[in-house]
A and B are shown apart, each in its own frame.
Chain A
């Protein structure tokens, strides 16, 4: 029983550590604006796609 309890505690501890690490990582992304820096890098790719790969029926 004690061993199962210890194992559960260990798993819980590891999960907590992962969560904290994950949150910390997310906070870094948030604070240093990495999400916007990434999406800003995606914009020219999308624009190229729209200009060259999308067929449009352009007319009035």
Chain B
């Protein structure tokens, strides 16, 4: 029997109350939002609970929302997968824009090590308790976090590519 979304929701709300919100099914994936202080606990619960058993971390992605209010300018999504029931779940958590910080989950999933380093490298999200939080794909000397939206993709001084002539502005490109 497949793992029902309602069961996951019930268990999580019972355990975490108001820290887990916005349950929704986005196409084939059940999603929820978690308060950033509870991320580690929720993931640990999802992993260790015998019925839920989300034992595989598929992916971890940082996201930048510069237009949100300051407490929600960064987001992290964790995708967990239960292979036995073949159920996926996606957890989203919002982080502060000035000091994005969240507890590491490297103690739960070894593979989150590089994923968290990638999020640090590209978004500057700090993972407290991470054993080796340093840049991974970019060079160590780099000072900026290039996947943030304010970081331009190309040199702003270029004159040979003027997108305005094609009806595009920085906003609608």
**Chain A complexes with chain B:** no
Chain A interface residues toward B at CB < 8 A:
none
Chain B interface residues toward A at CB < 8 A:
none
